[in-house]
Amino acid sequence: MTSSIIEGLKKPDIFYGSPKAGNFKKADVDKFAEDVALKLGYNSSDEVSAYCLYDIVKEKLGGQLHFVEKERLENEIYGTAVIHGELDFDIVIPRQKGLFDANFTIAHELGHYFLHSIQGKLPLIAKRGNDEPSERAEHEAKWFAYSFLMPEQRFKVEWEKCFRVPELVSKYFLVPPVAAKNRAESLGLAI
């Protein structure tokens, strides 16, 4: 069942699909995400930059962020993107998520925007629940988020500086510790 919040964000006369896997190579997604972050001027190395991610979504990409009480959501416990068109989308985030979780959720939903809707050319709703996106599409969006927020070369340097401790490196990149741990594993770094 789609929540009334998501229904309320839909625009009339638009047919929304679900994310379909692009079957991209991980290395290609990684490079693309790093290029997008660079082009948008995103640098996750300080707290001000985390708030800049919100500005980037709104001012450079035409998106809107909606922080909603968890109780008002149904299946959108992780986040949802409602993509209407080019430079026109909404991201719903449970309010209870902290800054680090919210950053990762936003970057993940941007992965759907850039990869699966082709920057808004294909309207879609990326959410868990009905019309669940393919597992592969979810992996592709996660790869995008990891690389957008934690570029490979910078991550490798900070990983060593932070003694290979996910909780420490996560603070540098403003992501949840589990995201930092997963990024290290995906890069073959020792934990």
CA within 13 Å, CB half, 115:
34
More confident: 182 or 4: 182
Mean residue pLDDT across the chain: 89
Q: What is the pLDDT of residue 130?
A: 46
155 and 145 assigned to the same domain: no
- ∠168-54-156 over CA atoms, to 5°? 30
Distance CA 189, CA 137 (A): 25
98 and 157 assigned to the same domain: no
Beta strand extents in 3-151 (DSSP E only): 63-68, 80-85, 88-94, 124-126
| Count of structural domains within the chain | 2
169 and 87 assigned to the same domain: no
102 and 130 assigned to the same domain: yes
127 and 88 assigned to the same domain: yes
User: Which percentage of the chain shows pLDDT scores above 90?
Assistant: 72
Q: What is the pLDDT of residue 76?
A: 55
Stretch 119-135: mean pLDDT: 79
Residue 140: which domain range? 4-149
More confident: 162 or 69: 162
8 and 102 assigned to the same domain: yes
Q: What is the pLDDT of residue 1?
A: 34
Q: What is the pLDDT of residue 99?
A: 87
185 and 106 assigned to the same domain: no
More confident: 31 or 95: 31
With cut-offs at 50, 70 and 90, classify the pLDDT of residue 133. low
Q: What is the pLDDT of residue 178?
A: 96
37 and 86 assigned to the same domain: yes
82 and 128 assigned to the same domain: yes
157 and 137 assigned to the same domain: no
Q: With 70 as the cut, is the pLDDT of residue 125 above it?
A: yes
Stretch 3-13: mean pLDDT: 89
Q: What is the pTM of this model?
A: 0.92
| CA dihedral angle for residue 138, residue 184, residue 57, residue 135, rounded to 10 degrees | 0
Q: What is the pLDDT of residue 2?
A: 45
Q: What is the pLDDT of residue 79?
A: 87
State the amino acid at position 92 in one-letter form: V
72 and 139 assigned to the same domain: yes
Q: Is 19 helix (H, G, I), strand (E, B) or coil?
A: coil
- What pLDDT, in 10s, does the model give residues 49-107? 656 889 999 999 999 999 988 777 665 567 899 999 999 999 999 887 788 999 999 99
59 and 91 assigned to the same domain: yes
Of the ranges 18-32, 62-76, 118-132, the best mean pLDDT one: 18-32
